[in-house]
Amino acid sequence: VLSGCGVYDGTEIHEASAVLVHLSRGGAEVHMYAPDVPQMHVIDHSKGQPAEAESRNVLVESARIARGKIASLAQLTTADHDAVIFPGGFGAAKNLSTFAVDGKDCKVNKEVERVLKDFHKAGKPIGLCCISPVLAAKVLSGAEVTVGHEEEEGGKWPYAGTAGAIKELGGKHCVKESVFSLTPFYEAHVDTKNKVVTTPAFMCETELHNIFDGIGAMVKNVLKLTGK
| 185 to 75, 78, 79, 168: CA distances (angstroms) | 32, 26, 28, 26
48 CB-near residues (< 8 Å, 6+ apart): 8
Catalytically active residues, by annotation: 130
* C-alpha–C-alpha distance, residues 108 and 228, integer Å: 30
Is there a contact between 18 and 208 (Cβ–Cβ < 8 Å)?
no
Is there a contact between 37 and 57 (Cβ–Cβ < 8 Å)?
yes
